[in-house]
Amino acid sequence: MPTVPTRTSELPRSGIRVVMDLAWASAKPVLRLEAGQPDVAPPDHVLEAMRESIARKETGYTPNAGLPALREACAAKLARVNGIHRSPEQIVISTGSMEGLLSAVLGLCEPGDEVLIPDPGWPNYAMVCRLGSLRGVAYPLRPENDYRPDLDEVDALVNGRTRMVIVNSPSNPLGTVWDDEVMSGWVELAERHDLWVLSDECYDEIVFDADATSPAVVDGGDERVVAVHSFSKTYAMTGLRVGYVSGPLHVIETLTKMQEALVACVNGPAQRGAIAALEGPQDFVVAMRERYRRRRDLALSVARETAIPHVVPQGAFYLWLPLGAGIGDTMEFCRRLVSDAKVAVAPGETFGSNGAGAIRVSLAASEETIDEGMRRIASVVHAASLS
């Protein structure tokens, strides 16, 4: 009997999924604050464009790199919103930004290479490294440094096998946004050691009181920064699976060849929806951002009122609560929150060892759910004098 390699069979399960299953299995209703999924439908004109595409029977393969009109629309958006000036030929459409990240990591690293990943950071980075037989090396983001990287410390993690650094701003799970200084620091570090910078900008348009910037726009960024963007959060299109990768031409040509082996192409009607999203009115994006801002402000006001330690998110739609070592194992703590308080949140340690003592609250829920959920968390924390 052939064996399944442990590289894949032992792929750790996301703690968020575990909590989700517990919430589904609960006999009594649970307040759902664990998932990073917008709680609204995409704008009508996006759905209409997809309906029209289906009516035209556009069900065949599309070019590996994506529909030319979508690549053009993405190039225009990158220039308009992100200040990234790249031609349509420097863009490949991916099956969600997740597949774009996967293909960039696999395409730019050799098995055995090391990839620097944020800790706390989105768990999928470590999973992708493992799938590619790469070593994910966590770089710590610490509260005492406002969750900014200590670049001297990162420098010391670099060795002859280090090939890439992954950066994510606005951050999931922290909600922090890095400024030009941090981004320049990353590009300088990458230049010094000849590394790729893979910039996950999935939340680029959900920013409240900061300017989100891309390492692709700082000096030297053009040549070594591969940026990944998504339609999932900005236009509430998570299940439609459309994202895009931009970078130096030879990188995009390579990733385009890889598309054939990975997914062949992205779903045609979904790409039509994505074109409509970028070319149609942007009031949906403004309204979403304001809705998340209101929810963030509400969550912060409950956190302050109930004296719960928190990090003020400047972007994305998560609230990071560094409750302290007293909560013990964060997965166990989340189990208790589901069973005793009927509230589901994400365990900090699923985002890396620097997530110990913390939980992540998703703001992709109604104001009532956030208000009540935060109060229930506070009462569990205070009842046990944990924080």
Residue 123 found at the interface with ligand PLP (CB under 6 A) = no
Sheet holding 318-322, edge to edge: 318-322, 358-362, 346-347
State in angstroms the smallest separation of the CB of 235 from ligand PLP. 11
State in angstroms the smallest separation of the CB of 322 from ligand PLP. 19
Residue 178 found at the interface with ligand PLP (CB under 6 A) = no
What is the C-alpha end-to-end distance of the chain, expressed in Å?
Answer: 51
Q: Which CB sits closer to ligand PLP, 11 or 383? A: 11
Residue 176 found at the interface with ligand PLP (CB under 6 A) = no
Q: Which CB sits closer to ligand PLP, 275 or 327? A: 275
Q: Please report, as a single letter, which amino acid is at residue 123.
A: P
Q: Which CB sits closer to ligand PLP, 99 or 113? A: 99
Site size for ligand PLP, by CB under 6 A?
A: 13
Integer Cα distance of 182 and 168 in angstroms:
12
User: For ligand PLP, which residue of 162, 169, 199, 238 counts as binding (CB under 6 A)?
Assistant: 238
- In angstroms, the Cα distances linking 79 to 75, 155, 162, 192, 376 are 6, 31, 31, 27, 44
User: For ligand PLP, which residue of 53, 82, 103, 232 counts as binding (CB under 6 A)?
Assistant: 232
Residue 318 found at the interface with ligand PLP (CB under 6 A) = no
Q: Where in 27-46 is the site for ligand PLP (CB under 6 A)? A: 36
Q: For 84-220, list the strands marked E by DSSP.
A: 91-94, 114-119, 135-140, 162-168, 196-200
User: For ligand PLP, which residue of 38, 66, 88, 96 counts as binding (CB under 6 A)?
Assistant: 96
Integer Cα distance of 364 and 306 in angstroms:
21
Run of H or E residues at 268: helix 268-279
User: In sequence order, which residues have a C-beta less than 8 Å from that of residue 41 and are 6 or more positions away?
Assistant: 47, 236
Taking CB positions, which residue lies at the least distance from ligand PLP? 96
Q: Which CB sits closer to ligand PLP, 64 or 95? A: 95
Residue 243 found at the interface with ligand PLP (CB under 6 A) = yes
Numbers of helices and strands, H then E, in the chain: 14, 12
State in angstroms the smallest separation of the CB of 88 from ligand PLP. 20
In the complex, the residues that contact ligand PLP under the rule CB under 6 A are: 36, 96-98, 122, 168, 172, 200, 202, 230, 232, 238, 243
